[in-house]
Structure 1
Amino acid sequence: MMLGALSAKPSLSPNPNPSSSHRHSIKHPASKHRRVFFLDVNPICYSGPHPSLPSFARWLSLFFSDVSLVDPVIAVLDGERGNEYRRKLLPSYKAHRRKKVEGLRQSSESRLEVVGVLRECNVPVIKVDGYEADDVVATLTNQVLQMGFQVVIGSPDKDFKQLISEDVQLVMPMPELGRWSFYTLRHYIAQYNCDPSSDLSLRCLMGDEVDGVPGLQHLAPGFGRKTAMKLLKKHGSLENLLNAAAVRTVGKPYAQDALTKYADYLRKNYEVLSLRRDANVHLEEEWLSARDACNDSAVLSSFMKKLYERQKL
């Protein structure tokens, strides 16, 4: 379901800042070096664990002024029952986040205000029931790439690292610096010394405590990050590794035993942690138009003033 999507009508134009060291582009007859930005809305609506409309306004203002400029922006919200699919597979999935997420959802007025501000700034807002925002972004990213655009995903969520490539990069809010920071394929390789294609497989082996997904080390204490990295560099992916371990020895006895004994466990981790690409959403051509940013300053200033007045009451 799309919530009040608006789009600007000007024709597509080149990236206004093509020389930025963090901003890459590709040639396409229709896009002319253009990027499409996806904004993961929910995380920027919090300050720490608490819902915060001022936080939303601040990060959105910086996103428009310093990051996306007039490039197309598509905002994405979690759909109703978005976590249900993964929680059926793994009940512990994001269990500790339920109260935090409900904090914003219970305030329908706040949610409407967030959507209203985005609409006034000519940003389509997408929400698909039964899917998390991450899955919707992953689905639409594939569609955007097929049209020859590059993708930039605005989110602090590490799950999106599995999508990084030459044509997909992240831009993350950095509260300690008070700005958004680009994170590219080059940054990923420098940080992890491996290709992003291994990111998901590595997380399946190591687990994700933040998301409530236990790793293999809880069942096989000797199986740590060093072992996981070594095996993935050799076999490329978790599935390749598990298939190899089923027919021959792939490592030391403790690693071999763990991989064969807990193969189903690891495959479930993979199903939980991998972003889905089957969300029922289809890219609309008008979402790719240059965004009309003429309302940004007035809309955000008015919104911040309203929040300030509300706090004084």
Structure 2
Amino acid sequence: MMMTTTVDIRTLMGIRVGVHNPTFLIGSSHPPCFRKRNNLPLIIASASYQTVGVQHKDDLNNNNNHQLKLKKKRVFLLDVNPICYNGSTPSLHSFAHWISLFFSQVSLSDPVIAVIDGEGAHEYRRQMLPSYKAHRRKFTPWVSASHELVKGSVNMRSHQLISDTLTKCNVPVVKIPAQEADDVVATLVEQVLQKGYRVVIASPDKDFKQLICEEVQLVMPLPELKRWSFYTLDHYIAQYKCDPISDLSLRCILGDEADGVPGIQHLVPGFGMKTAQKLLKKHGSLQNLLNAAAVRTVGKPYIQDVLTKHATHLQRNYEVLSLRRDVDVRLQDDWLLRRCTDNDAETISNFVDLLRETYSSHR
């Protein structure tokens, strides 16, 4: 499910305005002075000692931490596969649209690392759950608007054409055999953070919400608005009323229809979002909840029945939905360099022209 909430531009730019005088800290001709007495809050005042705002010490510390975080450079991890679809239909035009907006409005010259599913990427999870992503149409041939295989002067697999386009835009493309892009991204997130950068995952895939924290956020394509939108830790907490650390446990209970992972609702319709959130808020994680249910009553009879009789079902969901961080991929130092954008416009224009010419010749 895609979210429509957007980040306030002032927050993205790192501007924190005063409570009573929003222009003071930015435009005052006199530097603010600070007075501290015992445990009283710090008073932000002008040179004439006119109080214009009050901030507690903890607030200032949080503000300083926030500013330090924003000073860290961003690295974008681009999940390529989802933006190559228009709904459930493979579409190279969709890729061209989203990558053009991404480069021109989102990542700019920040480093971008693109990740694509390897061949046989879904087999690992399908061995545990045959329905996992079973309904998704493969995106191996170049599919035209009439869904006919394109043959002729440009006889190239779609993924190769996409990879070539990204490479020309100075974006490294990572594709690991038998590994899903989600797991490769999760592995690279930890490596990028260890290098001292912030991470932005570019993807509509809600699987990545389990990775959200202060230094990891998402930017999601919104087809209905035809633009990308940032999704942060604050957005997650406002939406789900819990910390992202509980996201995986929550989705194990509710399931993931898009990925073919059945939740508990089809067994017990009354076991929904609010019930799951209440239980996880008390117990912290799915495993803690299942351990407690095995030795004592944790809720109403139908809740207890589900947690004891269908514990294996929930544990399997956990294995399927949990992102792996152990993929054999190593972050390269040159992937973290500022991206040269000189080729973007021409490369994407040539890509669109190629699509137009090829489609026209095969009508």
Which structure 2 residues correspond to residues 61-80 of structure 1 after superposition, within 5 A? Answer: 61-80=100-119
- Aligned: 1:119 with 2:109: no
AA matched with 2:359 = Q
Q: Secondary structure at the match of 1:210?
A: helix
Q: Is the 8 A contact 1:242 1:259 kept in 2?
A: yes
- Aligned: 1:37 with 2:61: no
Q: CA deviation at 1:104?
A: 5.8
TM normalised by structure 1 equals 0.88
Q: Percent identity?
A: 64
Query: In the superposition, relative to structure 1, how do residues 192 and 303 fare at CA in structure 2: closer, same or farther (>3 Å)?
Result: same
The alignment yields a C-alpha RMSD, in angstroms, of 2.0
Instruction: Pick one of 170, 193, 202 that aligns with 2:218.
Output: 170
Q: CA deviation at 1:163?
A: 0.7
Rounded to whole Å, the distance in 1 between the matches of 2:92 and 2:206 is 23
Q: Is the 8 A contact 1:51 1:103 kept in 2?
A: no
AA matched with 2:279 = L
Instruction: Pick one of 38, 54, 79 that aligns with 2:93.
Output: 54
Rounded to whole Å, the distance in 1 between the matches of 2:10 and 2:344 is 23
Q: How many residues align?
A: 292
Rounded to whole Å, the distance in 1 between the matches of 2:140 and 2:167 is 23
AA matched with 1:294 = D
Query: In the superposition, relative to structure 1, how do residues 273 and 23 fare at CA in structure 2: closer, same or farther (>3 Å)?
Result: farther
Rounded to whole Å, the distance in 2 between the matches of 1:127 and 1:282 is 12
Report Cα offsets for 1:258-309 as digits up to 9, x if no partner.
Answer: 1111112111100001111111101111111111111111111222222222
Q: Secondary structure at the match of 1:95?
A: coil
Gaps of 5+ in 2: 1-8, 15-65, 144-148, 150-154
Query: In the superposition, relative to structure 1, how do residues 154 and 20 fare at CA in structure 2: closer, same or farther (>3 Å)?
Result: farther
Which structure has more RCO (C-alpha within 8 Å, separation ≥ 6)? 1
Q: Which residue of 2 aligns with 1:12?
A: none
Instruction: Pick one of 189, 201, 214 that aligns with 2:262.
Output: 214
Q: Which residue of 2 aligns with 1:21?
A: 11
Q: Is the 8 A contact 1:152 1:168 kept in 2?
A: yes
Rounded to whole Å, the distance in 1 between the matches of 2:214 and 2:318 is 23
Q: Secondary structure at the match of 1:215?
A: coil
Gaps of 5+ in 1: 1-18
Larger radius of gyration: 2
Q: Which residue of 1 aligns with 2:186?
A: 138
AA matched with 2:264 = L
Q: CA deviation at 1:235?
A: 0.6
Q: CA deviation at 1:103?
A: 5.3
Q: CA deviation at 1:26?
A: 6.9
- Aligned: 1:249 with 2:297: yes
Instruction: Pick one of 102, 107, 123 that aligns with 1:84.
Output: 123
Q: Which runs of 4+ in 1 moved over 6 A?
A: 23-26
